[in-house]
């Protein structure tokens, strides 16, 4: 769905190529890949980020996943007199309980408040993150929370998934559009593990309901029984996430 949206907006996708060098040639930039060259006016590099933890490393503090600064649930480092908050600090994943580094704005902001509270003597307990995120791609909303199928396998679960097609509003309501929802659950325990959604509307707010369910450790069956809001301008009678949960139950 995402690939189709990009292509419909004249975005060419090239896979399996590794960027080797970039050079100026005339009035253009030429990107040299392993088996092709592309001349263009502008090159943007989107290669991800790494945590800025060099100072912590030099101070002898423990580092966590991907070199992030390891902290406990009170945001203390391996030296309890030193705190770390923001995108440089790791966190706990609410589904697996394991340490992860998922730099998100809310976690970074919340961590700063937690540090101030703990220093001031207040009780602090940071539950962790579900990796909830959303972005806009032209007219598409793309959202996720929790674990994908592959991530669930790597975490040691016996995951099952469903991908369903539903609607953003009641089917006959003007403006109703398609929503695709992928939901993942654990076959052994029935635990809800994650969800991904793509559509032209309604994904950004729906993913939050699943995120709350992950934070509370809900089973797929429990989520399927949730009383979610319905009115024709906003949702079908059966919310897309409820449809996905009921379909997933058949595989658990």
Q: Mind listing the pLDDT tens digit of every residue in the chain (252 residues)? A: 899 999 999 998 999 999 999 999 988 999 999 999 999 999 998 888 999 999 999 999 999 999 999 999 999 999 999 999 999 999 999 999 999 999 999 999 999 999 999 999 999 999 999 999 999 999 999 999 999 999 999 999 999 999 999 999 999 999 999 999 999 999 999 999 999 999 999 999 999 999 999 999 999 999 999 999 999 999 999 999 999 999 999 999
Question: What's the token pair of residue 171?
Answer: 């089917």
CATH 3.50.50.60 domain residues, the chain = 54-119, 133-249
pTM of the model: 0.90
* Closest by Cα among 185, 186, 167 to 176: 167
Q: CA 71, 75, 81, 52 torsion: positive or negative?
A: positive
CA angle, corner 238, sides to 233 and 240, nearest 5? 85
Judge residue 159's burial from the number of C-beta atoms within 10 Å of its C-beta, 0-12 exposed, 13-18 middle, 19 or more buried. buried
157 in Cβ contact with 95 (< 8 Å): no
Give strand pairing partners of 143. Answer: 134, 197
DSSP structure class, residue 65:
G
- How far is it, in rounded angstroms, from Cα 150 to Cα 209? 22
- How far is it, in rounded angstroms, from Cα 141 to Cα 150? 22
- How far is it, in rounded angstroms, from Cα 59 to Cα 197? 42
* Closest by Cα among 63, 75, 67 to 111: 75
What class, spelled out in words, does domain 133-249 have in CATH?
alpha beta
The residue count for the chain: 252
Check if CATH label 3.50.50.60 holds for domain 54-119: yes
């Amino acid at each position: 769905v995402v690939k189709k949206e990009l292509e419909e907006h004249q975005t060419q996708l090239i896979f399996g190529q590794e960027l080797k060098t970039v050079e100026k040639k005339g009035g253009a930039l030429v990107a040299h890949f392993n088996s092709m060259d592309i001349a263009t006016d502008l090159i943007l590099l989107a290669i991800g980020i790494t945590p800025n933890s060099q100072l912590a490393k030099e101070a002898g503090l423990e580092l966590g996943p991907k070199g992030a600064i390891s902290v406990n649930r009170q945001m203390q480092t391996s030296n309890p007199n030193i705190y770390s908050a923001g995108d440089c600090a790791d966190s706990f994943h609410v589904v697996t309980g394991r340490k992860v580094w998922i730099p998100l704005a809310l976690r970074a902001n919340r961590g700063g408040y937690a540090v101030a509270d703990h220093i001031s003597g207040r009780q602090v307990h940071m539950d962790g993150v579900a990796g909830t995120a959303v972005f806009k791609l032209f007219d598409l909303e793309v959202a996720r929370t929790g674990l994908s199928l592959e991530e669930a396998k790597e975490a040691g679960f016996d995951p099952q998934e469903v991908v369903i097609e539903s609607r953003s509003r009641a089917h006959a309501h003007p403006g109703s559009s398609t929503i695709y929802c992928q939901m993942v659950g654990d076959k052994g325990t029935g635990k809800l593990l994650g969800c991904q959604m793509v559509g032209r509307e309604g994904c950004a707010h729906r993913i939050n309901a699943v995120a709350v369910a992950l934070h509370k450790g809900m089973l797929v069956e429990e989520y399927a029984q949730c009383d979610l809001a319905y009115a024709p301008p906003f949702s079908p009678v059966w919310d897309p996430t409820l449809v996905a949960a009921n379909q997933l139950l058949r595989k658990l």
